[in-house]
């Protein structure tokens, strides 16, 4: 008797230590673990081998997890492969929703819990084995089809009508067997968001709304696999009612949002307290007699001005962030000439770079962007300002741009203090300021990069950073290229 072939799992992460941790947890004689160190490497493996599930790290340099998932879904050969995102960076509602829209079937958040990881992977391994058996033999198909507890439909490739349904599907949809057989698969779909349903934003991924015979709708996770039946080519459709899972996820997201709001208020209060206390203290000092102190009063007034400027900058950043996150500041994209726009903006920052004795070099391309000009100005000004502030006297800042297929990738490089590796994943979060910046008393609100990330993504781009401590940092962002028919900005 031939031994059961091992099931292949694809583990994708650019960090060898993370791959080793995943592989150690999932190691089993029944599994063959394939390790990929980048999105490109993963795509090459998927062209050669068949995998039960892909565990995909979100944060990777170059081709990140979201982009890799999108390419996997676009390929006919790999479009059905289940993808589980593994992340430790961002668990916000927006982030999770984006993953579901790109076809994720689940999320696993670090630090990993071995029992949960094994259970989730095992479910897809078992499903893969069942699907493989369905493809191998009509008899095998019939045995599995009848015995599986999950709802399964067999759908004709030619007509997209149901040719068979197991007992679980009959119970799930509330139809009799004869009512289901012959029904067009679209009759079970309930397109559009349903009021009061759990996590409606997730329905654009592998979770879709389904309708029972009584008209009630429910979110379902849909998995499809090709099969060869005696009636001809077919698709095996597995439907799982995920109402409880999505309701639990929604409750968790609400709790997380509430925690983040409380943390945000606490951070704002902390950031406001310092400048307010300084302004109040020095004002009281002047009122109590220091206004007649010819030697120190001007220094006291300048200190008040400095903290007032800090307070104004924080309030301005908070207002900008509120406008973006509430949807009031919607991008109004038009054509922007990259080279002229960037040169003019950098020229306006020459007084700051001159005071700090930091030179600025430009290496741009003649490109027309389709972007909100105000937003582009905010992003460039923030990144160049940081590159100057976090630099050393006599250092250099370099702004580069290169063409990609349908976008421009802009890089702002500095020769400054750099960012420690353990802080790099957190630099785009609210109120994050590096320990070294605080040590060197480099002023900032801790909101600038968070705002940059929102703005870039709202304009259809992405942003990331690389850094070597004490050697400098490079911040990258992409901007869509303008189409020929786009209207130039005036």
Query: Which of 186-195, 344-353, 437-446, 450-459 is predicted least confidently?
Result: 437-446
Quick one: 237 and 353 in the same domain? no
Structural domain contains residue 2? no
**pLDDT confidence band for 412 (50 / 70 / 90):** very high
Residue 40 has pLDDT above 50, yes or no: yes
pLDDT of the residue at 177 = 86
Structural domain contains residue 1? no
CATH label of the domain that carries residue 39 = 3.40.50.2300
* For the chain, percent of residues with pLDDT exceeding 90: 28
Token representation of residue 139: 């008899």
pLDDT of the residue at 361 = 93
* For the chain, percent of residues with pLDDT exceeding 70: 82
Last residue of a domain, one of 194, 212, 241: 241
User: Which tens digit of pLDDT belongs to each residue from 353-369?
Assistant: 888 899 999 999 999 99
Which residues does 363 contact at the CB level (< 8 Å), separation at least 6? 398, 399, 400, 401
User: Which tens digit of pLDDT belongs to each residue from 2-37?
Assistant: 567 889 999 999 999 999 999 999 999 999 999 999
**What's the average model confidence in pLDDT over 61-68?**
88
**What's the average model confidence in pLDDT over 114-125?**
88
pLDDT of the residue at 445 = 62
pLDDT of the residue at 315 = 74
**What's the average model confidence in pLDDT over 27-53?**
92
Structural domain contains residue 250? no
**pLDDT confidence band for 305 (50 / 70 / 90):** confident
Residue 439 has pLDDT above 50, yes or no: yes
Number of domains in the chain: 4
**What's the average model confidence in pLDDT over 228-239?**
82
pLDDT of the residue at 90 = 58
pLDDT of the residue at 198 = 42
pLDDT of the residue at 195 = 41
Residue 146 has pLDDT above 80, yes or no: no
Last residue of a domain, one of 190, 210, 241: 241
pLDDT of the residue at 413 = 95
Using CB atoms within 10 Å of the CB of residue 41, give its burial: 0 to 12 exposed, 13 to 18 middle, 19+ buried.
middle
pTM (2 decimals)? 0.43
Quick one: 428 and 317 in the same domain? no
Last residue of a domain, one of 286, 312, 328: 328
Alpha carbon distance 387, 390 (integer Å): 6
Quick one: 356 and 475 in the same domain? yes
Q: Which has more pLDDT, 42 or 192?
A: 42
Quick one: 476 and 393 in the same domain? yes
Helix (H) or strand (E) holding 31: strand 31-36
pLDDT of the residue at 473 = 93
| DSSP-derived secondary structure letter, 5 | P
Token representation of residue 373: 């000009």
Among 227-236, 303-312, 396-405, 419-428, name the most confident range.
396-405
**pLDDT confidence band for 263 (50 / 70 / 90):** low
pLDDT of the residue at 261 = 62
127-136 long-range contacts (CB < 8 A, ≥24 apart) are: 127/52, 127/82, 127/223, 127/238, 128/7, 128/52, 128/53, 129/7, 129/52, 131/223, 131/225, 131/236, 134/225, 134/227, 134/236, 135/225, 135/226, 135/227, 135/228
User: Which tens digit of pLDDT belongs to each residue from 374-397?
Assistant: 899 989 988 998 899 889 889 999
Quick one: 60 and 196 in the same domain? no
Structural domain contains residue 67? yes
pLDDT of the residue at 93 = 56
CATH label of the domain that carries residue 288 = 1.10.287.130
Quick one: 304 and 179 in the same domain? no
**What's the average model confidence in pLDDT over 60-76?**
88
Task: Enumerate the H helices of 326-372 as residue ranges.
Answer: 338-348, 350-355
Quick one: 208 and 349 in the same domain? no
Mean pLDDT score across all residues of the chain: 82
Quick one: 97 and 155 in the same domain? no
Structural domain contains residue 248? no
Residue 311 has pLDDT above 90, yes or no: no
Quick one: 352 and 314 in the same domain? no
pLDDT of the residue at 88 = 75
Structural domain contains residue 247? no
| DSSP-derived secondary structure letter, 151 | E
Quick one: 436 and 379 in the same domain? yes
Query: Which of 54-68, 370-384, 440-454 is predicted least confidently?
Result: 440-454
Quick one: 71 and 85 in the same domain? yes
Structural domain contains residue 249? no
Q: Which has more pLDDT, 462 or 133?
A: 462
CATH label of the domain that carries residue 398 = 3.30.565.10
pLDDT of the residue at 487 = 46
| DSSP-derived secondary structure letter, 290 | G
Q: What is the domain range of residue 167?
A: 137-241
pLDDT of the residue at 223 = 86
Residue 143 has pLDDT above 80, yes or no: no
Kind of pairing between the strands at 334-337 and 207-211: unpaired
Quick one: 324 and 340 in the same domain? no
Structural domain contains residue 45? yes
CATH label of the domain that carries residue 227 = 3.30.450.20
């Amino acid at each position: 008797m031939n031994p059961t072939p091992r099931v292949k799992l694809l583990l994708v992460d650019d960090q060898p230590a993370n791959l080793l941790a995943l592989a150690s947890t999932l190691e089993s004689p029944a599994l063959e673990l394939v390790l990929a160190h980048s999105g490109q490497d993963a795509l090459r493996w998927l062209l050669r081998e068949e995998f039960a599930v892909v565990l995909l790290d979100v944060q990777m340099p170059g081709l990140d997890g979201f982009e890799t998932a999108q390419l996997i879904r676009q390929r006919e050969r790999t479009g059905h492969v289940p993808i589980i995102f593994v992340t430790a960076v961002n668990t916000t509602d927006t982030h999770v929703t984006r993953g579901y829209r790109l076809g994720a079937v689940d999320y696993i958040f670090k630090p990993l819990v071995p029992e949960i990881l094994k259970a989730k992977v095992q479910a897809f391994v078992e499903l893969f084995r069942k699907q493989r058996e369905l493809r191998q033999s009509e008899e095998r198909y019939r045995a599995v089809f009848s015995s599986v507890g999950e709802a399964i439909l067999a759908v004709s490739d030619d007509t997209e009508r149901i040719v068979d349904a197991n007992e679980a599907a009959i119970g799930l949809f509330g139809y009799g067997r004869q009512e289901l057989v012959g029904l067009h698969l679209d009759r079970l779909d309930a397109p559009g968001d349903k009021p009061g349903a759990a996590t409606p934003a997730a329905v654009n991924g592998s979770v879709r709304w389904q309708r029972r015979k009584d008209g009630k709708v429910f979110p379902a996770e849909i998995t499809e696999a090709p099969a060869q039946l005696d009636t001809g080519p077919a698709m095996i459709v597995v439907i799982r009612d995920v109402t409880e899972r999505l309701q639990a996820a929604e409750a968790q997201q609400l709790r997380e949002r509430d925690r983040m709001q409380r943390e945000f208020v606490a951070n704002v209060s902390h950031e406001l307290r310092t400048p307010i206390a300084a302004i109040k203290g020095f004002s009281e000092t002047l009122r109590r007699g220091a206004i007649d102190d010819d030697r120190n009063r001007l220094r006291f007034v300048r200190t008040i001005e400095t903290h007032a400027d800090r307070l104004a900058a924080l309030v301005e950043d908070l207002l900008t962030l509120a406008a973006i996150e509430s949807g009031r500041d919607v991008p109004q994209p038009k054509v922007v000439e990259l080279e002229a726009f960037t040169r003019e903006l950098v020229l306006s920052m020459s007084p700051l770079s001159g005071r700090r004795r930091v030179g600025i070099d430009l290496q741009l391309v003649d490109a027309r962007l389709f972007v909100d000009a105000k937003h582009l100005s905010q992003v460039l000004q923030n990144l160049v300002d940081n590159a100057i502030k976090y630099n050393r006297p006599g250092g250099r800042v370099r702004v580069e741009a290169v063409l990609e297929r349908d976008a421009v990738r802009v890089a702002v490089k500095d020769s400054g203090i750099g960012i420690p590796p353990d802080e790099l994943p957190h630099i785009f979060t609210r109120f994050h300021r590096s320990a070294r910046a605080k040590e060197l008393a480099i002023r900032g609100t801790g909101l600038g990069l968070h705002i940059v990330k929102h703005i870039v993504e709202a304009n259809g781009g992405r942003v990331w950073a690389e850094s070597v401590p004490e050697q400098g940092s490079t911040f990258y962002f992409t901007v869509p290229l303008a189409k020929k028919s786009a209207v130039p900005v005036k």
